[in-house]
């Protein structure tokens, strides 16, 4: 099956970037759908800003900007967004019931042969697929933030996903200029978060146990493991509440005590120190 038209459900942090990459790099016709006009306007503004950055770097021309923008069609109407789409990418917030509601609605209006994928970073693909009547045409397609720059896509097989669905989504990923990796089994956190989240949790334990100061922990990991940013800075970026939620999913689904959340994370969240978004986490972001 050849992908020509793509629907992106959600114009937020991830959705707008996915829509941009699909239109700019893969040259797909893209319908970007959200539930409020202001969300669509914000998404389009973020796309325009991102494209202008590429122009400033000399990577694309104004003509290419206009061509990319002409391929993106923002809409509030689910039927309009998905009716003619070959690939439907769900990119709404990481809340199981919210995702399932959007997926069920998209499934209702989508043509029979359309593939539906989720950009979830932690929710079971098999569970999300159950919101549709096409689990064999459903898989995970996990982009990384920001989608315009990050090369990786995790393609995740659900319990009923067919080989054909996987190969089509892998090809679409490559057409978007990405490097796909295949997750053969639907497992919490897939590859990257399965390794990353316990590492971030361990960094919080080092603070909790008084082993070292946050600045020195971050410096050690940046210089010793060549990470672009330290784990505690990254926790502040991700949000301590989001990291805690993922840790709890691992403990619940995998049943291993090694995933036990650091008590410091819970204490900080109770105190309202969520990281960058609240102005304070392991670091003070108010300045």
Concatenated DSSP letters of 123-163: S-HHHHHTTSS-GGGEEEEEE-SSTTT--EEEEEE-TT--H
287 CB contacts (<8 Å, ≥6 apart)? none
Whether residues 239 and 150 fall in one domain: no
Q: How far apart are CA 4 and CA 86, in angstroms?
A: 7
CATH number at residue 115: 3.40.50.720
- Structure tokens, 56: 């400033």
At 113, is the pLDDT very low, low, confident or very high (cuts 50, 70, 90)? Answer: very high
142 domain-assigned: yes
Which of 71, 120, 75, 113 is CA-nearest to residue 94?
Answer: 120
CB of 116 closer than 8 Å to CB of 90: yes
User: Do both 211 and 167 map to the same domain?
Assistant: no
- Shared domain check, 173 and 40: yes
Has 121 been annotated as catalytic?
yes
> Is 167 an active-site residue?
no
Instruction: Collect all residues with Cβ–Cβ distance below 8 Å to 277 and sequence separation of at least 6.
Output: 239
| Token pair of 245 as six digits | 């939620």
Does residue 286 form part of some domain? Answer: no
Catalogue the E-assigned strands of 34-132: 72-75, 87-90, 115-118
Domains identified in the chain, total number: 2
Helix (H) or strand (E) holding 91: none
State the sign of the Cα–Cα–Cα–Cα dihedral 76, 82, 85, 87. Answer: positive
pLDDT for 249: 86
- The string of pLDDT tens digits covering residues 193-252 is 999 999 999 999 999 999 999 999 999 999 999 999 999 999 999 899 989 988 988 999
3-state secondary structure of 27: coil
**pLDDT for position 245:** 87
Which residue range forms the structural domain that includes residue 9? 5-183
Domain co-membership, 179 together with 196: no
3-class DSSP state of 8: strand
* Cα Dmax for the chain: 57
How far apart are the C-alpha atoms of 99 and 96, rounded to whole Å?
A: 5
- What number is the average pLDDT over the span 159-169? 98
Q: Which of 107, 121, 173, 201 is catalytic?
A: 121
Residue matched to tokens 């057409």: 175
Give the domain-ending residue among 121, 153, 183. Answer: 183
Q: Is residue 285 part of a domain?
A: no
**Peptide bond before residue 30 is cis, with ω within 30 degrees of 0:** no
Q: What is the pTM of this model?
A: 0.91
Q: Is 69 exposed, middle or buried (0-12, 13-18, 19+ CB in 10 A)?
A: middle
Do 28 and 141 reside in the same domain of the chain? Answer: yes
Band of pLDDT at residue 13, cut at 50, 70 and 90: confident
Our answer to whether residue 193 is catalytic in this structure is: yes
Same domain flag for 47 and 179: yes
Q: In the predicted model, what is the mean pLDDT of the chain?
A: 96
Query: Which of the residues 50, 142, 173, 201 is marked catalytic?
Result: 142
Query: One of 16, 118, 154, 201 is an active-site residue; which one?
Result: 154
CB 121 within 8 A of CB 91: no
Taken in order 146, 150, 153, 154, the sign of the CA dihedral is negative
Considering 124, 193, 201, 278, which one is annotated as catalytic? Answer: 193
């Amino acid at each position: 099956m050849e992908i020509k038209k793509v629907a992106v459900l959600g114009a937020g942090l991830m959705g707008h970037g996915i829509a941009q990459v699909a239109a700019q790099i893969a040259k797909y016709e893209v319908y970007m759908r959200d539930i409020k006009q202001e969300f669509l306007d914000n998404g389009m503004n973020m796309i325009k800003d991102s494209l202008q950055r590429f122009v400033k770097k000399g990577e694309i021309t104004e003509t290419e900007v206009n061509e990319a923008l002409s391929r993106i069609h923002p809409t509030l109407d689910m039927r309009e967004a998905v009716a003619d789409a070959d690939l439907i990418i769900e990119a709404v917030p990481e809340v199981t019931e919210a995702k399932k509601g959007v997926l069920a609605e998209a499934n209702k209006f989508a043509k029979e042969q359309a593939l539906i994928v989720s950009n979830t970073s932690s929710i079971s693909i098999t569970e999300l697929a159950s919101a549709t009547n096409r689990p064999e045409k459903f898989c995970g397609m996990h982009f990384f933030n920001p989608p315009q720059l990050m090369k990786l896509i995790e393609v995740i097989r659900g319990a009923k996903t067919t080989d054909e669905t996987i190969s089509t989504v892998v090809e679409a990923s490559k057409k978007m200029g990405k490097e796909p990796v295949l997750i053969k089994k639907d497992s919490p956190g897939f590859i990257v978060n399965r390794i990353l989240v316990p590492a971030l949790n361990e960094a919080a334990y080092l603070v909790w146990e008084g082993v070292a100061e946050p600045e020195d922990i971050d410096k050690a990991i940046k210089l010793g493991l060549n990470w672009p940013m330290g784990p505690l800075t990254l926790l502040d970026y991700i949000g301590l509440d989001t990291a805690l939620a993922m840790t709890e999913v691992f403990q619940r689904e995998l049943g291993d005590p090694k995933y036990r959340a650091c008590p410091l994370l819970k204490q900080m969240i109770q105190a309202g120190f969520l990281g960058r978004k609240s102005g304070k986490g392991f670091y003070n972001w108010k300045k």
